Amino acid sequence: DTLSDRSISAVADLIKSGRAKRIVVMTGAGISTAAGIPDFRSPKTGLYHNLARLDLPHPEAVFEIDFFRNNPRPFYVLAKELYPGNFHPTISHAFVALLAKRKLLRMLFTQNIDCLERAAGVPPELIVEAHGSFATQRCIDCKNPFPDAEMRKCVESASAPNCFHKGCGGLVKPDIVFFGEQLPSTFFDNATVPQEADLVIVAGTSLMVHPFAGLPRLARDSVPRVLFNMERVGDFGTRADDVLCLGECDDGIRKLADDLGWRDELEKMWVD
């Protein structure tokens, strides 16, 4: 086995010994809940359990392109709550930025659309935003981009903007990936990166949505995989070097930072 035991301190030893320097991180909504952004599937607090007021046929419809075409309003009600700018990154985001600073981050794959990885200081070229982000937007028909400032206004008033291009007038949608849409090319361009990892860290995701959910499995068998999550997910626990750190991811990350001797640096990066 690569690890002395299935513990966070063994993971810290691996990193400290210099045997993990191509770390691949995979994240989801759970790393942003401490920032005040709800996740999707947690009972009671998750977005999908709180969409009844939007009168949807089923919760996921809010992210379905065919539904959006006929009724964009529920998405824009949600967008107003999720729009970046009002939130501060968490300790877990800062930890990924610290890995990058120490040249240990091979790549971050995130499903999140909140842009908090960039806000925390993870270099953009090391982030694969697998489900897109709110950073840009375009018309769903003619695909022409739509200006940021206009978008911000529309999101603030929870109203769906229409394309400015003459003769089009199609609906405008942020470049986040809806069900029924292709993932961005950067996801596929980097699809073999998890095979290069010498350590995989997964945090805050239910691993319910494919193809993202298949990424942790791409790690080579001998490569340790660490899960920071409220619950066990995916196939975690089936490999000899899987480490499960169940609970608040920020708590687990702080423990790892303590064991690495990086805690002060991490807390400093987080407040800066």
Letter for the amino acid at 127? I
Binding of residue 224 to ligand OAD (CB under 6 A) = no
Q: Answer for the pair 179, 67: CB distance below 8 angstroms, yes or no.
A: no
What is the distance between the alpha carbons of residues 260 and 242, in angstroms, rounded to a whole number?
19
DSSP annotation of 183 reads: P
Which residues inside 65-104 make contact with ligand OAD, applying CB under 6 A? none
Nearer to ligand OAD, 44 or 53 (CB): 44
Binding of residue 10 to ligand OAD (CB under 6 A) = no
Min dist CB 111 to ligand OAD, Å, is 4
Catalytic residue status for 131: yes
Min dist CB 139 to ligand OAD, Å, is 19
From 2, 7, 42, 159, residue interacting with ligand OAD (rule: CB under 6 A):
42
Nearer to ligand OAD, 24 or 198 (CB): 24
Asked if the bond preceding 59 is cis, omega within 30° of 0, the reply is no
Min dist CB 203 to ligand OAD, Å, is 7
Q: Is 249 annotated as a binding residue?
A: no
Burial class (CB in 10 A: 0-12, 13-18, 19+), 241: buried
Nearer to ligand OAD, 48 or 146 (CB): 48
What is the distance between the alpha carbons of residues 156 and 204, in angstroms, rounded to a whole number?
28
Q: Token digits for 252?
A: 């687990």
Binding of residue 256 to ligand OAD (CB under 6 A) = no
Query: Which one of 7-15, 30-38, 137-145, 237-245 is the stretch in contact with ligand OAD (CB under 6 A)?
Result: 30-38
| Half-sphere exposure of residue 63: CA atoms within 13 angstroms, side-chain side | 17
- Angle subtended at Cα 221 by Cα 217 and Cα 227, rounded to the nearest 5 degrees: 55
What is the distance between the alpha carbons of residues 252 and 45, in angstroms, rounded to a whole number?
21
Catalytic annotation, pick one of 49, 88, 93, 131? 131
Using DSSP, state whether 98 is helix, strand or coil.
helix
| Half-sphere exposure of residue 175: CA atoms within 13 angstroms, side-chain side | 18
Q: Is 139 annotated as a binding residue?
A: yes
Binding of residue 206 to ligand OAD (CB under 6 A) = yes
Min dist CB 169 to ligand OAD, Å, is 25
Min dist CB 106 to ligand OAD, Å, is 21
From 161, 204, 224, 234, residue interacting with ligand OAD (rule: CB under 6 A):
204
Distance from CA of residue 154 to its chain's centroid? 24
What is the distance between the alpha carbons of residues 44 and 41, in angstroms, rounded to a whole number?
9
Which residues inside 107-166 make contact with ligand OAD, applying CB under 6 A? 111, 131
Q: CA dist 186 to 31, 113, 190, Å?
A: 22, 15, 6
Residues taking part in catalysis: 131
Question: Which residues does the annotation place in the binding site for Zn(2+)?
Answer: 139, 142, 163, 168
Question: Which residues does the annotation place in the binding site?
Answer: 139, 142, 163, 168
Residues interacting with ligand OAD, by CB under 6 A? 28-30, 33-34, 39-42, 46, 63, 111, 131, 176-177, 204-206, 208-209, 229-231, 233, 248-249
